[in-house]
Amino acid sequence: MRRLWAVLTLLTVAVTLALTGCASTTPPPVTATPTSVRVPASATVTKVLVFVEENHSLAEMKAGMPYTFGLATQFGYATHYTAIGHPSLPNYVAITGGKTYGIIDDSSPAVHSIGGASVFGQAIAAGKTAEVYADGMPSNCATTDGGTDYAVKHNPWAYYTTERAECQKHDVPITQLASAITKGQLPNVGMVVPNLCNDAHNCPLGTADAWFKGWMSKIVAGPDWKSGHLAIVLTGDEDDKTASNTVLTVVIHPSQKAHMVATPLTHYSLTGLYEDVAGVPYLFKAASAPSMARAFGLPVQGSSG
């Protein structure tokens, strides 16, 4: 009898909470997936948002990031995409600047002051939009480590000193990303920089996989994805020095249908993709790098000169 009374009591409390609105305020999980949202496959790519993970090879990322590799096999990925070198910073500078500027270490912007243009600065100068969303960063365009596992060596725009004003305005904490997704205000040229845990630098690949899944669930529910104009790229900055710097690079866009790309691509190909989308000239080695847009058959309007 006591057991029956306890059960009835619990049921009464649950019903009361539901009716009075006092139940948990945690919102229900977003269940949208890239395949559950109808998106025009032929829409021109006018926005590209790049996520960069850390220090794992193609094989390791395939095995340790099942959600991400599931998207890779559903959409498209490169089997011969290589980073530029070691350690991290030269790769981030290569992606955003078309060359490494001779950098061979992870020192701060106080040591490495880059006077050239970045793809972000190029886009803004051309009347397009650019934004970097840095996970854990304590303030805009932070040039030293701090916050919540924020590492400036993974935030390349902070090194381009001639673009410091633009960086101060558009290199922002990741807390601003959700609003940009919801409002359809993702940039033409964008990068998302996870912190040292969410990029799998200091935490397991599974942590990075779950973190990326959380952002993708929001992105595919947003207007930029639904328009067909947004392409998502996920890559690794470098491998763990065991696989000739071959990293997993995934391209997520409705034009991709289980597309496995064997063309040898590099980070300079990603530089070129940014510039194709922004409609600006290629920087340095991006001019001779194999075209990422062409390799994946992305519907990008024209190409840079």
Pairing of strands 171-173, 130-134: parallel
Q: How many CB atoms lie within 10 A of CB 77?
A: 27
75-123 residue pLDDT tens: 999 999 999 999 999 999 999 999 999 999 999 999 999 999 999 999 9
**Average pLDDT of 283-292?**
98
Q: What is the pLDDT of residue 302?
A: 56
CATH code assigned at 185: 3.40.720.10
Please, which pLDDT band fits residue 226 given cuts at 50, 70 and 90? very high
- Report residue 305's pLDDT band, with 50, 70 and 90 as the boundaries: very low
CB of 40 closer than 8 Å to CB of 230: no
**Residue that the structure tokens 């590099």 belong to:** 266
Say which amino acid occupies 72: A
Give residue 53's pLDDT: 98
pLDDT tens digits, 171-195: 999 999 999 999 999 999 999 999 9
What's the whole-number mean pLDDT along residues 265-282?
98
Within a domain: 64:
yes
Q: What percent of the chain has pLDDT over 70?
A: 88
Model confidence at 6: pLDDT above 50: no
Mean pLDDT for the stretch of residues 237-255 = 97
Does residue 283 fall inside a structural domain?
yes
Classify residue 199: in a domain, yes or no: yes
Q: Is residue 301 part of a domain?
A: no
Output the DSSP codes for 1-56: -HHHHHHHHHHHHHHHHHHHT-S--PPPPP---TTTS---TT----EEEEEEE-S-
Residue 7 in domain? no
Of 191, 185, 211, 189, the closest CA to residue 200 belongs to 211
Q: Residue 220 and residue 238: Cα distance in Å, rounded? A: 27
Q: Which residue has the higher pLDDT, 1 or 153?
A: 153
Residues 223-240 have a mean pLDDT of 97
Q: What is the residue-averaged pLDDT of the chain?
A: 90
d(CA 238, CA 151): 16
Examine the pLDDT at 9 and tell me if it is beyond 50.
no
How far apart CA 286 and CA 270 sit, in angstroms, is 8
Burial class (CB in 10 A: 0-12, 13-18, 19+), 141: buried
Q: What are phi and psi of 292, to 5 degrees?
A: -75, -40
Q: Within a domain: residue 20?
A: no
Mean per-residue pLDDT for 38-49? 92
Give the 3-state secondary structure of residue 204: coil
In a domain, 302, yes or no: no
Q: What pLDDT score does 42 carry? A: 85
Q: Which domain holds residue 261?
A: 35-296
Higher pLDDT, 36 or 237: 237
> Is 13 a member of any domain?
no
Total number of domains in the chain = 1
What pTM was computed for the model?
A: 0.89
